[in-house]
């Protein structure tokens, strides 16, 4: 069964990489693409970008406290923003790839969702993230309530 799951994940990571290759990121240092999938179909595609908005700032505050560092919209956030008013995202999976700008080391790089994105994904019912590590490897992350980390620290 893991073999089938692996093929399923690789299929959507390849789709995310194709979207990333087709997207114009301008002069961004990192090129990430996130694809939300439910029932074997793509329901949303998001890209990282320099811009920010109240949604991004809200989740940044939850995860990090004071905003004393650069804000940007992550690909996972953008994918959720594109779909959240059209459909219930509970049970969806997200596939995230990072396309290397300097491809001397390969095409893909680490794209594990950050703590801020984990808050977003958890709050919208997305419990699995699959992400690129490099051209041959991917990771799978179970999205759990990130707020539990804060409770344990106290």
Residue 79's pLDDT is 98
> For 105-142, how does the pLDDT look when each residue is reduced to its tens digit (9 = 90+)?
779 999 999 988 999 999 999 999 999 999 989 999 99
Q: Are 101 and 117 within 8 A, CB to CB?
A: no
DSSP string, 57-91: HHHHHHHHSS--S---B-HHHHHHHHHTTTS--TT
> For 48-80, how does the pLDDT look when each residue is reduced to its tens digit (9 = 90+)?
999 888 888 888 877 766 555 567 899 999 999
Q: What is the mean pLDDT of the chain?
A: 87
pTM of the model: 0.88
CATH superfamily membership of 2-153 = Cytidine Deaminase, domain 2 (3.40.140.10)
Query: Mean per-residue pLDDT for 82-96?
Result: 95
Query: Mean per-residue pLDDT for 13-40?
Result: 93
49 CB burial (10 A radius; 0-12, 13-18, 19+): middle
Residue spans of the domains in the chain: they are 2-153
User: CB under 8 Å to 131, separation ≥6 — which residues?
Assistant: 95, 96, 97, 110, 111, 112, 113, 138, 139, 141
Q: 126, 107, 108: which is closest to 117 by C-alpha? A: 126
> For 135-153, how does the pLDDT look when each residue is reduced to its tens digit (9 = 90+)?
989 999 999 987 776 555 5
Residue 4's pLDDT is 46
């Amino acid at each position: 069964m893991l073999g089938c799951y692996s093929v399923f994940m690789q299929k959507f990571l390849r789709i995310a990489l194709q979207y990333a290759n087709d997207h114009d990121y301008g002069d961004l240092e990192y090129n990430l693409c996130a694809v939300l999938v439910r029932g074997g179909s793509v329901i949303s595609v998001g890209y990282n970008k320099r811009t920010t908005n109240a949604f991004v700032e809200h989740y940044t505050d939850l995860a990090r406290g004071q905003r004393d560092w650069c804000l940007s919209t992550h690909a996972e956030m953008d994918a959720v923003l594109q779909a959240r008013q059209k459909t219930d995202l509970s049970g969806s999976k997200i596939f995230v790839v990072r396309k290397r700008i300097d491809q001397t080391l390969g095409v893909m790089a680490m794209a594990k969702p950050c703590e801020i994105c984990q808050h977003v994904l958890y709050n919208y019912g997305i419990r699995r993230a699959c992400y690129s590590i490099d051209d041959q490897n991917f990771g799978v992350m179970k999205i759990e309530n990130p707020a539990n980390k804060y409770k344990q620290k106290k």
